[in-house]
Every structure is written in structure tokens, then in C-alpha cells.
């Protein structure tokens, strides 16, 4: 059973293991609200997951510890379990989806755990872990649907109320639901007036679906770069707690998540993985009502693979209107590129890539296509440049969508 006493006990057990992560004011996230960031991306192992994993393992009997532990994870729970097992001097087997970021896989191995890569997503790794648990007799450390794990995550709620006693709302990433279940239980138990909102990736809306259907049920598929919350089905316990204590669960698109990642880098000098940035995306794009309120965005993790980060930044730039593409149909004659470039430069744009292609069967024999990528300030700036090129008599056949 999950109780407030258990959450407080978890805080006591964890006090010499975890960091009490900072709460940072972030005025540019949403100018109509007083927004703060709870920086669990700066937690030991780079994620909140250490809290629940360590507390769960601390509560095992000596007999259970002797048999070792097994877990499944998209990467962050894996690192939490591996480090907690290492501290306890017990063996750990971790099943991770084969598409998880390499950094998460290698970090898990660095803590001494045996890693099993499983084809598919989290739910496939879960099934394989259950099979191995039956074969080995290890204790299974569930990533979210366990009262001890949820209590460990709930310690974040206690910290938030200590750091900002008069907060009005907390925005929390949701995958399987362990984080929001723990945070919502702790916050609502001590401050029932505080709103708690959950956020999922639009391509992995398992909790949203469960609430709509009145029960947790597996989605057929999930698709999002936010691998830490790419879960087909929330837990039974986490669903019950979310239904009882959470005010609403919303979704954000991958483009909105990418914009949030970029904003955190530029404005706050913080690195967040996709799953960790969904709370910020919800605040930025007004997916929840925080106008005039003190609201905390929980950044749940910062373990993003650097090979993905560059693509995420590019998507974020496009979403924000900072990079724009345009294809123009021209007559294939000297001086055309110079004239187009001059228009862009006169309006403050910066050309960063140009491609010239001869026309096809559906164009004039002497026609060509000029594809341009440019740096711009925002969507209004893109529109100004596009209008200026059209006004000069050029035919734009494709342009980045202006929001």
C-alpha cells in the first residue's frame, strides 16, 4: 500500500543517495505564468528514476538481495536499478529495448549490470524480463507499477512543497505513470488545492487512452523520439492513482517537444531528453491552464543521445520559425540566384544552403528550381521574406509552413 508515511520514509532512505535538485525560475517558458523548472535531469544518473529504484531495492530482504534483481527499461530506470544494485553489492540484469540511446545502454553497463537488448519497445523488454525472472528467480524491480517505486518518485513532491510551498500547479511527464502517481499522491495529500497535470507524447498516449476508456489497456503501437515515455500501457496501480489524484493528462507533439528541448538549451542552459521536456512543451504551448499561476515543470531526465540531439535541435528550429525552406521556380538564366539572395539579405535572412535543379517534364524547358534553406527570426519573418519574393515576381512552389 502507498501511504504518505512510506513517501517520507523513502525521503529518509534516499537523503544520502540522491541530490535535492534545484528549482529554477524560467520566465521565458510562458510569459503569462510564473514558471519554475524542477531539474531532475541533473539528478544522479541523469534522471528521477534512481529515487524509486533505490528505495525499492533498499526494502528487499537479504534473501531477495542474494538472488539479485532484474528490470526492464528504456534506459533511465535501467541506470537507477544498476546503480542501486551496485551500492547494495548485488547482481542486476537489465532488459532494454534495442532502440534505446547508446548512452543509456553504455551507462547502465558501467554500473556493473548485465544488459540484455530486446528487439522492440519497452513493453517487449518487459515481457522478456518477466521470462528471465521466472528462469533465474531474481526479484523483479518494476519501473513504475510498484508502491515502493512510486513512493520513491513521490519524494519529488515533498521537495517541491518545501521549495515552493505556495505552488499552484505541477506539470509532470507520463509514461507508465510511476512518476506522476508518486508526485500527485504526495502533493495532493499535503496540498489538495494544487493542480497536477500529466503530459504524454502524442505518439504514445497510453494514460490518456486509459483514462478515456476507464481502464489501462495496451496501445497497438507507440511512436515518439521521447523514448523514456514510449510505453504502450500504463500500470494498474499508476492508473488508479492518476485517476484519483491527477487533474488532467494532455499530449504534445514531437515537434513541440523538440521546440521545448531547444528552448531549454538556449534559455536555461539545460539539456533535457525528449521525455523530460514534455512538461515544458505543455507549458510553452498552453496545453494546460497555468495563466497567472505559479507552475512547476518537472524535467524528468537529461539522458539524450548526442546523435539524436542535433536532429531534435533542427526540428525545434523549424518549429520555431528559426530555419525555413523555400523552393522557387525560375527561368534558368544568369543572375537569378543573386536577385533572390539579395531579397533575402535585404529582409534580414541568412542563406545557409542552396540547391539548383533543372526543371522536369511539367516545367518549361528553360526552367529550373531553386531550393533555399535560410536562418530566420520567427514565423512572421519567414512570411515577410516569402511575400517579398512573391512581390518581385517569382513563383514559390514550396515553403515552410507559417504558423
Task: For cell 523513502, name the residue.
Answer: 10
Instruction: Please give the backbone phi and psi of residue 329, each rounded to the nearest 5 degrees, phi first.
Output: -90, 125
Identify the sign of the CA torsion 212, 215, 216, 220: negative
Catalytic residue among 56, 300, 319, 399: 300
Judging by beta carbons within 10 Å of its beta carbon (0-12, 13-18, 19+), is residue 347 exposed, middle or buried?
middle
Q: Which of 49, 188, 195, 287 is catalytic?
A: 49
Catalytic residue check, 300: yes
Write the CA distances from 325 to 256, 343, 344, 374, integer angstroms: 19, 15, 12, 7
Runs of H (alpha helix) within 15-141: 49-58, 62-67, 76-88, 102-110, 122-136
Residue 232 annotated as catalytic: no
The Cβ of residue 213 has, within 10 Å, a number of other Cβ atoms equal to 9
CA-to-CA distance for 79 and 182, rounded, in angstroms? 19
What's the distance, Cα to Cα, between the start and end of the chain in Å?
48
Residue numbers annotated as active site? 49, 300
Amino acid at each position: 500500500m502507498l501511504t504518505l508515511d512510506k513517501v517520507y520514509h523513502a525521503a529518509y532512505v534516499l537523503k544520502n543517495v540522491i541530490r535535492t535538485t534545484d528549482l529554477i525560475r524560467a520566465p521565458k517558458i510562458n510569459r503569462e505564468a510564473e514558471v519554475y523548472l524542477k531539474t531532475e535531469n541533473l539528478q544522479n544518473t541523469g534522471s528521477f528514476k534512481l529515487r524509486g529504484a533505490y528505495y525499492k531495492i533498499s526494502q528487499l530482504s537479504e534473501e531477495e538481495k542474494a538472488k539479485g534483481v532484474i528490470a526492464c527499461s528504456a534506459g533511465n530506470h535501467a541506470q537507477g536499478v544498476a546503480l542501486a544494485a551496485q551500492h547494495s553489492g548485488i547482481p542486476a540484469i537489465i532488459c532494454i529495448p534495442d532502440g534505446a540511446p547508446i548512452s543509456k545502454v553504455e551507462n547502465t553497463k558501467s554500473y556493473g549490470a548485465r544488459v540484455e537488448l530486446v528487439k522492440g519497445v519497452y513493453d517487449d523488454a518487459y515481457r522478456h524480463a518477466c521470462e528471465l525472472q521466472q528462469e533465474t528467480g531474481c526479484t523483479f524491480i518494476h519501473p513504475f507499477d510498484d508502491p515502493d517505486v512510486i513512493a520513491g518518485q513521490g519524494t519529488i513532491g515533498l521537495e517541491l512543497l518545501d521549495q515552493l510551498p505556495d505552488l499552484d500547479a505541477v506539470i509532470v511527464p507520463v509514461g507508465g505513470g510511476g512518476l506522476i502517481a508518486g508526485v500527485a499522491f504526495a502533493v495532493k495529500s499535503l496540498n489538495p488545492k494544487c493542480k497536477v497535470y500529466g503530459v504524454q507524447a502524442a505518439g504514445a498516449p497510453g494514460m490518456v487512452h486509459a483514462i478515456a476508456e476507464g481502464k489501462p489497456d495496451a496501445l497497438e503501437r507507440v511512436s515518439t523520439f521521447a523514448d523514456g515515455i514510449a510505453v504502450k500501457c500504463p500500470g494498474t496501480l499508476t492508473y488508479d492513482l492518476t485517476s484519483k489524484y491527477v487533474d488532467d493528462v494532455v499530449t504534445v507533439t514531437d515537434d513541440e517537444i523538440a521546440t521545448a528541448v531547444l528552448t531549454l538549451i538556449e534559455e536555461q542552459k539545460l539539456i533535457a531528453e525528449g521525455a523530460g521536456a514534455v512538461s515544458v512543451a505543455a507549458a510553452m504551448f498552453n496545453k494546460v491552464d497555468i495563466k497567472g499561476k505559479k507552475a512547476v515543470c518537472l524535467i524528468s531526465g537529461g539522458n539524450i543521445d548526442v546523435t539524436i540531439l542535433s536532429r531534435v535541435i533542427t526540428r525545434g528550429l523549424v518549429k520555431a520559425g528559426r530555419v525555413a525552406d523555400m523552393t522557387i521556380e525560375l527561368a534558368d538564366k544568369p543572375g537569378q540566384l543573386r536577385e533572390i539572395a539579395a531579397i533575402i539579405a535585404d529582409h534580414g535572412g541568412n542563406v545557409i544552403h542552396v540547391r539548383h535543379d533543372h526543371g522536369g517534364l511539367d516545367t518549361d524547358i528553360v526552367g529550373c528550381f531553386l531550393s533555399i534553406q535560410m536562418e530566420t527570426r520567427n514565423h512572421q519573418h519567414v512570411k515577410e521574406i516569402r511575400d517579398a519574393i512573391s512581390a518581385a515576381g517569382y513563383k514559390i512552389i514550396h515553403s515552410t509552413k507559417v504558423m
